[in-house]
Each structure stands twice: as structure tokens, then as C-alpha cells.
Amino acid sequence: MKNIAIFASGNGTNAQRITEYFSDNPNINVCLIITNNKDAFVLQRAKKLNIPSIYFNRRDFYETEKINDILKQNSVDLIVLAGFLWLIPLKLIKEFNGKIINIHPALLPKFGGKGMYGDKVHKAVIESCEKESGISIHFVNEKYDEGKIIFQKKIAIQSNDNLESLAKKIHQLEYKYFPQVIENMLND
């Protein structure tokens, strides 16, 4: 059995989609949802999905071994960042080398980095008059959105697309491809 821990800071739609995708898979299990936001809706999703969840604060994450210990206790094979907004500490990157991935709602290396998440990314893409956007799934390193890219999927931006329509298209790509990429990684 391969165990996934999902880190999320907000709504948790990708966390829910990933959990549902693997719900009937006897070999892959979402064992934990972890958040740095005690008010994140992902906690309600975790409860509804019967997935244990943990809230942690900045001190727990950066100054203690608490999260690392929890991940080890749960025999986590892969850490999946799904809308998680904090930089991963180097000690966690070293402990889970090559086993932390993130999804970004644009075609990296464009529109990545600190502060570039969610609607901020879509707004920047539209304001830059890009002809295409998409998703990037990448390994996590010590810098925001600079890890080696595992997978990208592009879509054309139509002349009538706005922030909301682009966000919807990107979410559809995320829901379709993120679980598949995770499955491929864990089956290799």
C-alpha cells in the first residue's frame, strides 16, 4: 500500500478529487490531509471523506519535527501539495527527496513564484495576453515553483475568456490529470 499525504491551505477541491480517485484503489491510499489554515474548508472535506486531518502552525512546520514525525508515523510515500501556500522547509525536502510534488495553475516557468497562486495566476496570464495556459505538476525544491517539471497540459485561451472562465478550464485540467500523474508516479 502506497500512502499519500495531501497538504492544502484552502478549499480542498483537488484534495477531494484525489481522494475520490483513489477510493477504490487497493494499492494507493490518501492517509492524511494536512493544513496550515485552521479555517480551511479542506478540513470539512477531510471529515466528510473520513480522512484524518491535521492542522499545524508556522512554528510546528519550521521549528520542530512534528510534521516530519507525523508523516513517518503514517508511512507516507508521497506528499502532494494541492493549493498549499507555504514554502516547504529544507529538512522536509531532504527527508522526502523526490517524493513531494505540487500542482501549479499555469505553464511554468511563467507565472510562478512567491505570491503566484489561484486567481492571481489567472489574472496575470490574461493581463499578459497569453495565447495558452495550463497546468504544471512538478517536484518541490527549496524555491517556489522551481522544481523539475513532471507534467504539463496546455489549453488555448479564447478571446472571450475571463478570469472565471480560465480558472474553470484550469480546474478541469487539474481534476483530470493530477490524480493520473500521482498514480503513474506511485506505480513506477
Positions annotated as catalytic residues are 104
**Residue where the block lists cell 488555448:** 156
SS3 at position 6: strand
| CA 5, chain centre distance (Å) | 10
Q: Are 86 and 36 in contact (CB under 8 A)?
A: yes
Q: Are 85 and 23 in contact (CB under 8 A)?
A: no
SS3 at position 101: strand
Q: What angle do CA 15, 71, 51 make, to 5 degrees?
A: 40
Cβ contacts of 23 within 8 Å, gap of 6 or more: none
Kindly state the DSSP code that residue 26 receives in the 8-state scheme: S
Distance CA 69, CA 3 (A): 15
